[in-house]
Structure 1
């Protein structure tokens, strides 16, 4: 009797191994045939904080993938502006990009009832077949809080197995216990699906013809059964996978390793925690990089290894750079945003500093009563340090202060003060600016702000108020209309040169000496990976980029 059970079991195992090997061989043949294929990747950027995440995500993809990728980014208006500047100033050989209006998608999904912390923004994962151009037939949708740890081509290969099964979307299993409130949702296996990594065969979705009707009907059906959805789009896709199993393909968990306070740590890597098998790490909770559990700590260190890599090593296009009339400096607007838009009639303090002076100047600018625009100049590692510093001090940094980051052009050694002054003024959102030449010497008190605020109604388009230091009488700043400041920067003039050449009406004042102070902000004590650690962890994952570990 025992033999009757064992023999069929062995035959099943051998048969499964045979078909798995056959599938793998077919995938390898197809990969060779499609070696020049462009991989289309979609992600969401709703909020300026995600721009840095997308930058790191792109780095991690290019670190292991030789081919061309096309990034399709769904973003709100502010984020589209930021991403456009980033891509234009970071022209990569192997990256194409398109931006889509998230507002339009949002409007179409406002009816979707959801209790999820992200609201209804996940609705874009249902409408990509309609929004994307027809030449996009296979799409990888990936959350911005992920990190690639292997060639994305291996994930793309699963489209072959999906097609063989007749499936047009693929996900990994969720790695969170469902709890009693979600047990009533239809779901495959124990936990249902996680949409952090989603493969969509858009060609098949379009051929079905009524996909839009199918997902909307399922959404209404769920709402009638359980009320507002707890996980928005994820609940709907999980339910559809239950009712239409042949349409859905289950990916291995290593392609979406979810990390958070309540995630099931050993579900994917086992009790021995073999992290080397993970292909995509996914921070699934709001805290992101500060998790205290084993998994987030390990992968956050690797994340920081990628964050601090020089963006110029990822194949910056020399042709596109040569087409630029001036040196291109990678620019990321709003690594820290303001709480709300300032009044147009206000005065923005516009300044720039090198990274090594940024912490002190951020603290000083907290004292300025009006809006402020600060540009910090430095490399990728310094931007990583600044981002973490701002994260640690989020409650102690002025909500009127916007911070932007500019990287040196390739081979640039000098501090580009004119370019940085231009960025700080351009990024201001008021009619007038105080363009600071020597930020440390300015008295950023309410009295200085009030003095120029009272003059606003008397100012003319061609007037400039020049501020001198009490010691030495050097020009340390000037208050003027934003358009005039932009003109002066475009002509690369000093304030005094502008008075003569542009025939401006000038007034002069003396700044009070700044009050001596100590930086009151918390100096980040985040644990950063050593160069040796990064060397070991990245090298064992077969990166194709050379020079990533050189300063």
Structure 2
């Protein structure tokens, strides 16, 4: 079937006993999938692969992910926030497994990671009997349970299921003096593998492939196709180990393949394998079909895959039950229902969406932290020119917008040259902008001792980064005014906000005392006041933003209140400033200005915030209650 024909009805539920499912139907079998994944780009590929698997699947799944530290950090957060029912994930450390394959010279672009599938039988749990092994560059076009069902065709001695290689590589006739590793005929491709782990272990798989590789490397300088060369050399010597799989389960797309002989209609295929660095530019008469299928899952809304499985009772993902109880307690007739629902929404988060190489944190170093949506992308280049230091940015995007953002960065000489900017995609869901949740994502990923909490529509002075790191422009100890060791409590450094609209909202910025700042030669302290919303530099472990504030209004003000309640001292630096860039009003600002109900809901959130503040800080929070009597201010 085509993708459109196979699309499930998201959100529908079938109950046993209503004539739709037999009451005696056995629960679907748990299927196990192993994938080796390292680095930022491979993590993005895995995200697309998983979406294609989840789209068609009808069974509970458990993913066994062999990762480096970068990929594990990304994928742990992604799966934790995805909250897909009937999906489990286990991680295995690549560093611990490296010594088993690091002795093998390998010319394949995947490097050492391309050899890791060889050690899976020993790395995976000893009680795991069967597993499907996948490359990250495959896309499913059918239910993975159909692939699992092919285990039933194995004989007692067959332990490895593979699709024949769809190129002439192992025939050795591609160019003069071409010497491939030994293989059975055309050999087999290892982008999709069925492994009977128990019997592989009994057969002594580890010793088997090690001896074969050692022998072949006496006459061959290195592997060219990583693990695939060694799998094929073993199968050449022990052909009874392999169960050939139908070729539609690994249609290999590269310029030198004969994939078109494998199927009569493009819709017959089951798995597309983009086994070429050229990806979507390979030559194939059906390449448009394949490209469209791949792009569909690349941009598919992963939130739609959170559906429960039909007739498959399974424990909910961690945190789901508590969340469902909280959602069930909401009153849909409440005028502020969408505010309360939005603050409970768990957004999928893909941290470190693009490769970045942060420098080792230096004493007193500062990361700029901000958040943005698609309509603010044009501000990134100017920000990168003004702030040469590290940045942690949270972007609120759909799956499709995330791909547009990727292309935007790749096409920008300014953005693509920066290796110290970390972009974290928070996938869009719900009607209101979750501004404080976005800030918290970016703040949590900052690596330096201090953070400059800014917004995307503010440009710091060109000198601000060095000024903050090196003690406010003096010859004193680097970072002195950030650290403020001469004071007893935690410290805030305020960056005055210079903008044309200052007189429209003086309450938000008047305590900074701009007249004094213009003449100041040394830092000076100021006092908190209601609705004060300065832009600040604080230690990385500062309080997080209150996620109840979504949309427009009081989200940053509440954070300053929390900082003041924890007795942070407010210090204004001379010569430090940031400039507001004019832009069209957001949808949430327009709603705030035009809707009395919107403003009433914001006031209700302020009331609840002050109540929680009083419960947490007691009498110390009494001074903040005066803010309840004031009209709600900006963010």
Q: Aligned residue for 1:125?
A: 117
Contact 1:168–1:201, Cα closer than 8 Å, also in 2: yes
Q: Aligned residue for 1:9?
A: none
Q: Distance in 2 between matches of 1:151 and 1:247?
A: 26
Q: Distance in 1 between matches of 2:391 and 2:205?
A: 48
Structure 2 residue matching 1:197: 3-state secondary structure: strand
Change (3 A) 1:139 1:182: farther
- Displacement of 1:293: 5.3
Greater Rg by CA = 2
How do residues 296-311 of structure 1 correspond to structure 2 at under 5 angstroms? Answer: 296-311=287-302
- Displacement of 1:114: 1.3
Change (3 A) 1:215 1:377: same
Q: Aligned residue for 1:313?
A: 304
- Displacement of 1:296: 4.3
1:462 is the counterpart of 2:496: no
Of the candidates 560, 565, 568, which is equivalent to residue 504 of structure 1? 568
Higher relative contact order (CA 8 A, sep 6+): 1
Structure 2 residue matching 1:188: 3-state secondary structure: coil
Q: Aligned residue for 2:227?
A: 233
Q: Aligned residue for 1:29?
A: none
In the alignment of these two chains, the number of paired residues is 475
Contact 2:459–2:578, Cα closer than 8 Å, also in 1: yes
Contact 1:349–1:370, Cα closer than 8 Å, also in 2: yes
Change (3 A) 1:64 1:394: farther
Q: Aligned residue for 1:481?
A: 539
* Residues 33-67 of structure 1: CA deviation (Å, up to 9, x unaligned): 98621111011110122222222212211222211
* Alignment TM-score, normalising by the size of structure 1: 0.79
Contact 2:212–2:234, Cα closer than 8 Å, also in 1: yes
Q: Aligned residue for 1:334?
A: 352
Q: Aligned residue for 1:79?
A: 71
- Displacement of 1:183: 4.2
Contact 2:381–2:414, Cα closer than 8 Å, also in 1: no
Q: Aligned residue for 1:420?
A: 438
Structure 2 residue matching 1:133: 3-state secondary structure: coil
1:441 is the counterpart of 2:435: no
Q: Gaps spanning 5+ residues in structure 1: where?
A: 1-31, 518-551
Q: Aligned residue for 2:182?
A: 186
Q: Aligned residue for 1:322?
A: 321
Q: Distance in 2 between matches of 1:202 and 1:68?
A: 20
Indicate the larger mover: 327-336 or 504-513.
504-513
Contact 1:304–1:384, Cα closer than 8 Å, also in 2: no
* Residues 75-134 of structure 1: CA deviation (Å, up to 9, x unaligned): 011211211111111111131111111111112211112111112223321222221113
- Displacement of 1:390: 3.3
1:401 is the counterpart of 2:428: no
Of the candidates 469, 472, 476, which is equivalent to residue 453 of structure 1? 469
Q: Distance in 2 between matches of 1:54 and 1:512?
A: 39
Change (3 A) 1:496 1:152: closer
Q: Distance in 1 between matches of 2:93 and 2:111?
A: 17
Of the candidates 213, 234, 239, which is equivalent to residue 219 of structure 1? 213
- Displacement of 1:295: 4.5
Indicate the larger mover: 473-482 or 488-497.
488-497
CA-based RMSD of the aligned residues comes to: 2.8
Q: Aligned residue for 1:262?
A: 256
Q: Distance in 1 between matches of 2:579 and 2:301?
A: 39
* Alignment TM-score, normalising by the size of structure 2: 0.69
1:203 is the counterpart of 2:203: no
Q: Gaps spanning 5+ residues in structure 2: where?
A: 1-23, 309-315, 327-343, 472-478, 503-508, 510-532, 550-554, 584-635
Indicate the larger mover: 135-144 or 390-399.
390-399
Indicate the larger mover: 451-460 or 371-380.
451-460
Change (3 A) 1:82 1:284: same
Q: Distance in 1 between matches of 2:288 and 2:136?
A: 18
Contact 2:36–2:117, Cα closer than 8 Å, also in 1: no
1:39 is the counterpart of 2:55: no
1:348 is the counterpart of 2:359: no
- Displacement of 1:195: 0.6
1:370 is the counterpart of 2:389: yes
Q: Aligned residue for 1:383?
A: 402
Change (3 A) 1:33 1:228: farther
Q: Distance in 1 between matches of 2:458 and 2:411?
A: 27
* Residues 274-326 of structure 1: CA deviation (Å, up to 9, x unaligned): 31111101111223245465554432221121222222222356774232475
Q: Aligned residue for 1:20?
A: none
Q: Distance in 1 between matches of 2:392 and 2:466?
A: 18
- Displacement of 1:364: 2.7
Change (3 A) 1:496 1:126: closer
